[in-house]
Every structure is written in C-alpha cells, then in structure tokens.
Amino acid sequence: LETNIFQKFYHIVCTIPPGRVATYGQVAILAGKPHSARMVGWALANLSPEDDVPWHRVVNAMGKISLPRGQGYEVQRALLEAEGIHFGPHDHIDLERYGWEPQVT
C-alpha cells in the first residue's frame, strides 16, 4: 500500500477540477504536511508524462506560475487558458475567482 507523501500529493492534485487552480501550500495542507509546499513542487517536477496528473493546476500563493519562461511557463499557461482560466495583468490569476475550494464531505 503506497501511502507515501508523494502519492498523496499526486492524488490531491488529481482531484483539482478543470478550470480551477490550487496553490502548492494548499496541496501540502490537504496532504497533512502544512509546511511542505516545496515538496509539492519537487514532486510535480519529478512527474513522469505517463502519470497523468494535472500538474498545471498548481500555482504559487501569489496566483502566478512558478515555472520560469522557457522552462514550462508557456506550456502551463496554455493548458490553463485552454480550461478557461483568464490571466490578468502581471501574469496573475485571480485566486478569488479561480481558486479551488475542495468540497468537504
């Protein structure tokens, strides 16, 4: 039973619905590791293409893409815009509007 922290991160990211974004810190908190936002980034950076995890729906706390230009930024932005997410001035995503609010059941 693979219940390591990375599997948890991946599982949580997989539950972010299209057209919504979550922050690294948010994913970390949901995984029970409130101070492990960096680990989420590390985990996503080490994903294999066949893992089929919607990594592009994770942005930083400022509502911006953390990947540098030329190193994934354009790809992530295109994927998000394709889901209807609008980027405002300064490459900013309005988290009040597009932020994911996980349903507690």
Partner DNA sequence: AACCTGACTTCGG
Partner DNA sequence: TCCGAAGCCAGGT
Give the number of other CB atoms < 10 A from CB of residue 77.
18
Q: How far is CA 18 from the centre of its chain?
A: 11
Give the one residue of 30, 44, 80, 93 binding DNA; rule: CB under 7 A: 44
Q: Of 51-59, 77-85, 86-94, 96-104, which part binds DNA (CB under 7 A)?
A: 51-59
Which residue's CB is nearer to DNA, number 30 or number 44?
Answer: 44
Q: Is 40 in the site for DNA (CB under 7 A)?
A: yes
Tell me the CA distances in angstroms from 101 to 19, 25, 49, 67, 104, one per residue in order: 12, 13, 26, 23, 9
Of 77 and 105, which CB lies nearer to DNA in the complex structure? Answer: 77
- Binding of DNA at residue 24 (CB under 7 A)? yes
Give the E-state strand segments of 9-90 in sequence order. 22-23, 58-59, 87-88
Of 7, 14, 19, 61, the residue at the interface with DNA (CB under 7 A) is: 61
User: How many Cα atoms are found within 13 Å in the side-chain-facing hemisphere of 21?
Assistant: 30
Interaction site with DNA (CB under 7 A): 5, 23-25, 33, 35-42, 44-45, 47, 55-56, 58, 60-62, 66-67, 72, 76
